[in-house]
Amino acid sequence: MRILIHGANVVTPDRTAVLNVLIEDHLIANVTADPIDPSSVDQAIDATGLHLIPGVIDDQVHFREPGLTHKEDLAHATRACAKGGVTSFLEMPNTIPNTTTVDALHQKLDMASGKCLVNYGFYIGATPDNVRELQNAKRTPGIKIFIGSSTGNLLVDEQAALERIFAETDLPICAHCEDETTVRANAQKYSASTDVADHSKVRDHNAAVIATRRAIDLSTRHNHPFHVLHVSTAEEVELIAAAGPTITAEVCPHHLFFNIDDYDRLGSLVKMNPSIKTAADNERLFQALLDGTIGVIATDHAPHTLEEKDQPYPACPSGLPAVENYLALMLNQVNQSRCSIEQVVSWMCAAPARVWNIKNKGHILEGYDADLTLVDLSLSRTIENQTQQTKCRWSPWAGETLTGWAVRTFVMGKEAYRLEDRTEHFAPEPVGHEIEYDR
């Protein structure tokens, strides 16, 4: 199958230029300013006025399968990805059962085959005693550590266990950084509270800063690549800015755009781990993207049903859905002149591919996989719960009108999503593939 996308504003992290892109089967065959004869292809797409970006790579999601599929599953979640311009995802290990062995990892990959509308990868989770499994894992982007509260046996808080993981493994490591001792002490202090706003006092700035400092120290001493997930505080930004070359970091939309003032309006819908912080933290986190201290934007997409979220605090679970809307949230920032579309491509396409050594993705280059997203920067749409593709069918951004949306998504050269005449079309069968890593 030969597909020609002609006349598009093709975006790289460095520039935007009007180019023609030829897809042959699953690869980008040509990127050129020269005309390509439309009669030589099976399908020609006039993309005049649209922007063509590499498919977005979300490196932190919780798609809940297996074990928690009443909240989300791969079929719904990957439809949400395709609609949102996301062509690849990396999923966390805290499903049921946890992904803490090579066998469990391979079972998850086998399960995903034939279910996903976009490309898929899965982290292997660290426990206090599974270093051998971590050493033997190959088909994974890296190791996930929960340095803070989690489920099952995924909490790794003892220093000796953390030292072994950083010293005796080779895969890149990422972590949920909240200090367990601090969180437990704060939880005891607010044990009688039913006010969801107190969640940001339980999981406070100190909890995040202490754990992030600890992880940076481990990474630096062992010269081991480490990625700080969902940075939520200005103080962490300063730690990351002063850290060495082994450290990379990311921020999520809820920590960029929500803060403690939003509890009055949204209540438990914005209860997250790490918690949302202050408006000053919002500003410092955005500035950290602009100055390069933080290089990646990911979602931490972690849906729960509305019935679960409606439980009184603290029983209401932490987490919210975001994968469907986060490209639009950032394109809206482009339209507000807070950043450029080239920066968005860097943060959401090129940087995650670089951090996780993802092969042939994250750029629009000849020989790369044809994971592509056509964007209409002038299109305005209002987020509505009833039209969400995520299985939980709600968004904390419901009611907001954003300008700049994906209108066509290609996964390995096949159309996964198209918005045409206000009607959404999805591929009739899964087109996603297992992600490969260049290491």
Distant-in-sequence, close-in-space partners of 437: CB < 8 Å, separation ≥ 6: 121, 139, 140, 141, 356, 357, 358, 359
Show the domains of the chain with their CATH numbers. 2-52+365-382+401-426 (2.30.40.10), 56-355 (3.20.20.140)
Distant-in-sequence, close-in-space partners of 429: CB < 8 Å, separation ≥ 6: none
Check: CB of residue 422 under 8 Å from CB of residue 93: no
Percentage of the chain beyond pLDDT 70 is 99
41-71, pLDDT tens digit by residue? 999 999 999 999 999 999 999 999 999 999 9
Tokens representing 194? Answer: 């039913």
Flag whether pLDDT at 225 surpasses 60. yes
Phi, psi dihedrals of residue 376, rounded to the nearest 5°:
-105, 105
301-334, pLDDT tens digit by residue? 999 999 999 999 999 999 999 999 999 999 999 9
pLDDT bin (cut points 50, 70, 90) of residue 150 is: very low
- The predicted model gives 341-363 an average pLDDT of 98
Flag whether pLDDT at 389 surpasses 60. yes
Flag whether pLDDT at 32 surpasses 70. yes
pLDDT at 410: 98
DSSP 100-156: -SHHHHHHHHHHHTTT-SSEEEEPEEP-TT-HHHHHH--SSS-EEEEES--STT-B-
Q: Which of 58, 157, 281, 300 is catalytic?
A: 300
Flag whether pLDDT at 271 surpasses 90. yes
87-143, pLDDT tens digit by residue? 999 999 999 999 999 999 999 999 999 999 999 999 999 999 999 999 999 999 999
Flag whether pLDDT at 241 surpasses 50. yes
pLDDT at 149: 54
User: Cis omega before residue 13 (within 30°)?
Assistant: no
- The predicted model gives 200-223 an average pLDDT of 98
pLDDT bin (cut points 50, 70, 90) of residue 155 is: confident
**If we measure between CA atoms, which residue out of 264, 209, 217, 265 comes closest to residue 237?**
209
Distant-in-sequence, close-in-space partners of 423: CB < 8 Å, separation ≥ 6: none
Tokens representing 155? Answer: 């909490």
Where is 77: in which H helix or E strand?
Answer: helix 74-83
- The predicted model gives 231-243 an average pLDDT of 98
Starting at the edge strand found earlier in the chain, the sheet holding 56-61 runs 56-61, 86-91, 119-122
According to DSSP, residue 317 is labeled: P
**If we measure between CA atoms, which residue out of 403, 417, 363 comes closest to residue 55?**
363
Catalytic residue status for 300: yes
Tokens representing 141? Answer: 């982007």
Q: Parallel, antiparallel, or unpaired: how do β-strands 143-147 and 27-32 relate?
A: unpaired
pLDDT at 323: 98
Q: What is the mean pLDDT of the chain?
A: 97
- The predicted model gives 68-82 an average pLDDT of 98
- The predicted model gives 22-50 an average pLDDT of 97
Percentage of the chain beyond pLDDT 90 is 97
**If we measure between CA atoms, which residue out of 57, 64, 3 comes closest to residue 28?**
3
pLDDT at 148: 64
| Cα–Cα distance list, 108 to 64, 96, 127 (Å) | 11, 11, 18
